[in-house]
Amino acid sequence: MATALTRDTLVQYAGKRAGNESLATFCNDWLNNIIDTLAQNYKFPELEKLVTGALAGHGSTAPTVVDTINLPADFGDLFDVHSLGVIDSFGTHNTLTPRDTDYYDTISSPLIVGTPNTAIFDLDNKQWTPFPLPQLDYTYQLRYRAKPVRLTGNTTIPFASDDIFIQGLYVQILQYEDDQRYPAEYAVWLQMIGKYIAGFNKSPIKTKSLRLNADTFRRIQNQR
């Protein structure tokens, strides 16, 4: 799901709501900041992506360098702590614990071979390394939050609803103008975000039902 309205229309509507349409240039930058903030702080289902790949086993041979796997170009963060796992040839799934590169300071050697249980992330180089290094062949599965591309033109936004971005811009304008409505409208914006995420794709499956006339089909009464 994406916004139906483009950047310029979102900016226009927010400006009209705030009573100030002269901040379009600022609003373009503010909108990009809002997009980045929402993508980093919340789990929008539209931004969830999945990649898979292969890890070659080293057997009993001790490797001379660690394995590194490149992260996707649009990688923003793991979708959750269970998002990276490896699967062996028997179909056994093993979730890897994410760590940063400081984890290397706690292990005796990064060249140990065995069953991977940890993923060491090097976000500066956009790579990750399994630890221990795989003795057998595995496939890996990575679910992640994509980082949206910043808007440079009059396009739509690939996640969330129009109202969320209009309200977000409206709140930003109120803050910029030191408007007393800012705190209340900011709270409304947070509620809108929460309701959107909580209700996404979670409505129960609806089935056809036959409604009977209550006057004709009365509940059976106890005859005693």
Q: Is residue 209 domain-resident?
A: no
What pLDDT is attached to residue 223? 45
How many structural domains comprise the chain?
2
Per-residue pLDDT tens for 189-221? Answer: 999 999 998 876 554 444 444 444 455 445 544
156: how many CB neighbours lie within 10 A of its CB?
Answer: 15
Q: Is residue 40 domain-resident?
A: yes
Residues 98 and 171 in one domain: no
Q: Give the C-alpha separation, 9 to 116, whole Å.
A: 49
Q: Is residue 205 domain-resident?
A: no
93: how many CB neighbours lie within 10 A of its CB?
Answer: 10
Per-residue pLDDT tens for 67-83? Answer: 999 999 999 999 998 99
Residues 175 and 141 in one domain: no
Per-residue pLDDT tens for 35-61? Answer: 999 999 999 999 999 999 999 999 988
CB 43 within 8 A of CB 145: yes
What amino acid is encoded at 93 in this protein? Answer: H
Residues 62 and 39 in one domain: no
Domain span holding position 21? 7-44+159-199
Total-model pTM: 0.79
